[in-house]
Chain A
Amino acid sequence: MAKRIDVSDLDIYYSKFLAVEGVTFSVEPRTVTAFIGPSGCGKSTVLRTLNRMHEVIPGAYVNGKVLLDGENIYDSDVDPVNVRRTIGMVFQRPNPFPTMSIYDNVIAGIKLERTKGVKRDRASMDAVVEKSLRGANLWEEVKDRLSRPGSGLSGGQQQRLCIARAIAVEPQVLLMDEPCSALDPISTLAIEDLIEDLKERYTIVIVTHNMQQAARVSSTTAFFNLAGIGQPGRMVEMGPTAKIFSTPTEKATEDYVSGRFG
């Protein structure tokens, strides 16, 4: 069920401002791809264009193509809501819905969006909740307090709850925007283990500022950088993680991963 992503010649604009220019890359199904690079270089912007989340910001638009298994998600007849159902997202800061219990948080995506063929009775909901929370390595910690508010959990647990919520709607691709940057090392380890499990079933793209994390979890790494002050961001190079961190082709990449820059 995981799908591949092909991006070609993608330019991303906020109104008239060209934020990211000329990005072309592919993501294979059931792999983990990491985006690294200095702050403000457009990693998160590129990630958000992969499920049309950047359109939430007024005035944002793109030129170019993003193909999901060959289907351009920017075609005029494509509904962004369907794109986001297929491509889930986990954010930097854990953001469980404060009015909902842990249980309701997990099934929020199913309950609030009617899809044909999805059963919504109590028993199948229970099954989805258990499966998703097990998938997010959170089941054992919360199984006795599913009716408690999700915002009462610790930061790391909240983030795993958000992952459970994202995988409950069974997306094809999972985008993660610095999912561990607000978490302590132990919670980070839990999330990284989880990414290791999730890649069996999902295509994962992760933005991270932590290069050890990129090296640990990803099989492919892409390095982003600004072309210069005031210039749009661009993808400098992309390749197998081992190669990017040992013998990158570009000098800028080598400077960044070895800590001489950025």
Chain B
Amino acid sequence: MTVISPEPTRSPESRSISESLAGKKLPRWAPLATAVAAVVIGYGIGAAGSIFGLAWFVVAALLFLIGQTAWSFAVEGRRHAIDRLATTLIYTCFIVALAPLLSVLLSVITKGAGVVFTDFPSFFTETMRNVSPRKPGGGVAHAIVGTIEEVAISAVIAVPIGIMAAVYLVEYGRGRMAKWVSFFVDVMTGVPSIVAGLFIYTFWILVLGFDRSGFAAALSLVILMIPVIVRTTEEMLKIVPNDLREASYALGIPKWKTIVRIVLPTALSGIITGVMLAVARVAGETAPLLLTTFLSQSMNWNPFSGPQAALPTFVWDQISNGTDASVARAWGGAFVLILFVMIFYIGARLLARVFAPKAR
């Protein structure tokens, strides 16, 4: 039961404000002043209670939040105070979300760049063949080759399957079959990477009797890539306006050609982003590679035969050696891996921009 309350009685002040469009505002320097005050007081409290590190910063942030909201409430009124509160909270969340990323990047760069660039370019050109774990030297050339070959093979297999599955789901799929396909894509999204590795290990290596190889690793990566590509491509195809499909049909263009020449190009930039995300995901996978191609200290150009190194397994291997020189090489490997994903990311963005629909 809702009782409709009468118009709330307003104080004379608020009525006088509503007569003019301009309201009272905090001065422009208010946020900065509050922040400085909050930091000073927060640091003071921290020093007094001898809590240091991040803790005093949290105190300062809380003080800023309370102080600014209270000040704004007193001067500007309720709506502005809530606005400032929400703005501050959103920026805080943004910083909190960004902090781990920056921290990871920073530690990988500070600890990894040294090894990579001390005797540049040997870290990129040499392998770990005949390099003692206790001594510095060696490089990731064999691991770079392995990662590029394995990721490339898995992309060549997974991208067409993923895109065609998405085209089926969006353009053709009706009824039970489409529901099952969609369901299994969801299931695949949740498959832990080590399970994908185990599956290929038992199926490809134990049952079919093939040797461990980069190709086996690529097969396990395919399992991880497909669902990512299907889902992102599906979303991209769904936002292609139906108007375009109808316009194409009305010109007497068959359905398959409409999909290939009109729908896919329109969604291409988003599809490239999805493929790129999938590649970035599998490039850092370690567990399935350990099961399917294991480790190697030397260069193996042939992905179809014998163990092959890869950047993530290189990092794992070096870390487990435990010596200073090896741990340093592990950070170097991590740095190269991030560099690899980043270069790929930038390349894909540029490619996407070339293909994106242009307004003018």
Genuine A/B complex: yes
Across the two chains, which residue of chain B brings its CB closest to A153?
B360
A166 within 8 A of B: yes
Q: How far is the CA of A162 from the CA of B156 in the complex (A)?
A: 37
Contact B252 A97 (CB under 8 A): no
Contact A165 B359 (CB under 8 A): no
B243 within 8 A of A: yes
B78 within 8 A of A: no
Q: Kindly provide the distance from the CB of A207 to the nearest chain B CB, expressed in whole angstroms.
A: 14
Residues facing B in A86-121 (CB within 8 A) are 86, 88-89, 91, 93, 95, 97-99, 108-109, 112-113
**B261 neighbours in A (Cβ, 8 Å):** 112
A220 within 8 A of B: no
A31 within 8 A of B: no
Contact A82 B360 (CB under 8 A): no
Q: How far is the CA of A166 from the CA of B355 in the complex (A)?
A: 25
Q: Given A56-B245, A162-B247, is A152 in contact with B253 using a C-beta cutoff of 8 Å?
A: no
Contact B360 A113 (CB under 8 A): no
Q: Given A95-B241, A95-B243, A97-B244, is A112 in contact with B357 using a C-beta cutoff of 8 Å?
A: no
Contact B250 A99 (CB under 8 A): no
**Option from A81, A97, A151 in Cβ contact (under 8 Å) with B359:** A151
A131 within 8 A of B: no
Q: Kindly provide the distance from the CB of B296 to the nearest chain A CB, expressed in whole angstroms.
A: 44
A30 within 8 A of B: no
A149 within 8 A of B: yes
Contact B358 A91 (CB under 8 A): no
B127 within 8 A of A: no
B254 within 8 A of A: yes
Q: Given A98-B266, A113-B257, is A169 in contact with B251 using a C-beta cutoff of 8 Å?
A: yes
Contact A51 B250 (CB under 8 A): yes
**B247 neighbours in A (Cβ, 8 Å):** 91, 95, 97, 162, 165
Q: Given A95-B244, A97-B244, A148-B360, is A82 in contact with B252 using a C-beta cutoff of 8 Å?
A: yes
> Most chain-B CB neighbours within 10 Å: which of A93, A98, A109, A149?
A98
Q: Kindly provide the distance from the CB of A177 to the nearest chain B CB, expressed in whole angstroms.
A: 10
Contact B250 A89 (CB under 8 A): yes
**A53 neighbours in B (Cβ, 8 Å):** 246, 249-250
Contact A99 B251 (CB under 8 A): no
B338 within 8 A of A: no
Contact A99 B266 (CB under 8 A): yes
Q: Given A113-B257, A152-B360, is A108 in contact with B252 using a C-beta cutoff of 8 Å?
A: no
Q: Kindly provide the distance from the CB of B63 to the nearest chain A CB, expressed in whole angstroms.
A: 51
Q: Given A109-B251, A113-B257, A165-B251, is A99 in contact with B243 using a C-beta cutoff of 8 Å?
A: no
Across the two chains, which residue of chain A brings its CB closest to B265?
A99
Q: How far is the CA of A82 from the CA of B252 in the complex (A)?
A: 6
Residues facing B in A52-93 (CB within 8 A) are 53, 56, 58, 81-86, 88-89, 91, 93
Across the two chains, which residue of chain A brings its CB closest to B251?
A109
Contact A112 B250 (CB under 8 A): no
**B252 neighbours in A (Cβ, 8 Å):** 81-86, 109, 113, 169
Contact B251 A149 (CB under 8 A): no
B174 within 8 A of A: yes
Q: Given A112-B261, A149-B360, is A91 in contact with B243 using a C-beta cutoff of 8 Å?
A: yes
Q: How far is the CA of A115 from the CA of B171 in the complex (A)?
A: 25
**B355 neighbours in A (Cβ, 8 Å):** 99
Residues facing A in B250-299 (CB within 8 A) are 250-254, 257-258, 261-262, 265-266, 268
> Most chain-B CB neighbours within 10 Å: which of A58, A81, A84, A112?
A112
B248 within 8 A of A: yes
Q: Kindly provide the distance from the CB of A97 to the nearest chain B CB, expressed in whole angstroms.
A: 6
**Option from B244, B250, B254, B358 in Cβ contact (under 8 Å) with A88:** B250
**A166 neighbours in B (Cβ, 8 Å):** 250-251
Q: Kindly provide the distance from the CB of A262 to the nearest chain B CB, expressed in whole angstroms.
A: 27
Contact B174 A84 (CB under 8 A): no
Q: How far is the CA of A84 from the CA of B249 in the complex (A)?
A: 7
**A113 neighbours in B (Cβ, 8 Å):** 251-254, 257
Q: How far is the CA of A246 from the CA of B246 in the complex (A)?
A: 37
**B251 neighbours in A (Cβ, 8 Å):** 84-85, 88, 108-109, 112-113, 165-166, 169
Contact A58 B253 (CB under 8 A): no
Hey, what's the 0/1 contact readout for A147-172 against B, CB within 8 Å counting as 1? 01101100000000010011001000
**A148 neighbours in B (Cβ, 8 Å):** 360
Q: How far is the CA of A8 from the CA of B355 in the complex (A)?
A: 47
Q: Given A58-B174, A97-B266, is A112 in contact with B253 using a C-beta cutoff of 8 Å?
A: yes
Q: How far is the CA of A148 from the CA of B360 in the complex (A)?
A: 6
26 contacts between A and B (CB under 8 A): A53-B250, A56-B249, A81-B253, A81-B254, A83-B252, A85-B252, A89-B246, A91-B243, A95-B244, A95-B246, A97-B262, A108-B248, A109-B251, A112-B248, A112-B257, A112-B258, A148-B360, A149-B357, A149-B358, A149-B359, A151-B358, A152-B358, A152-B359, A152-B360, A166-B250, A169-B252
Q: Which residues of A contact B (CB under 8 A)?
A: 51, 53, 56, 58, 81-86, 88-89, 91, 93, 95, 97-99, 108-109, 112-113, 148-149, 151-152, 162, 165-166, 169
Q: Which residues of B contact A (CB under 8 A)?
A: 174, 241, 243-254, 257-258, 261-262, 265-266, 268, 355, 357-360
- The 8 A-B residue pairs with the shortest CB-CB distance, nearest first, are A85-B252, A152-B360, A109-B251, A98-B357, A89-B250, A95-B243, A99-B265, A84-B252
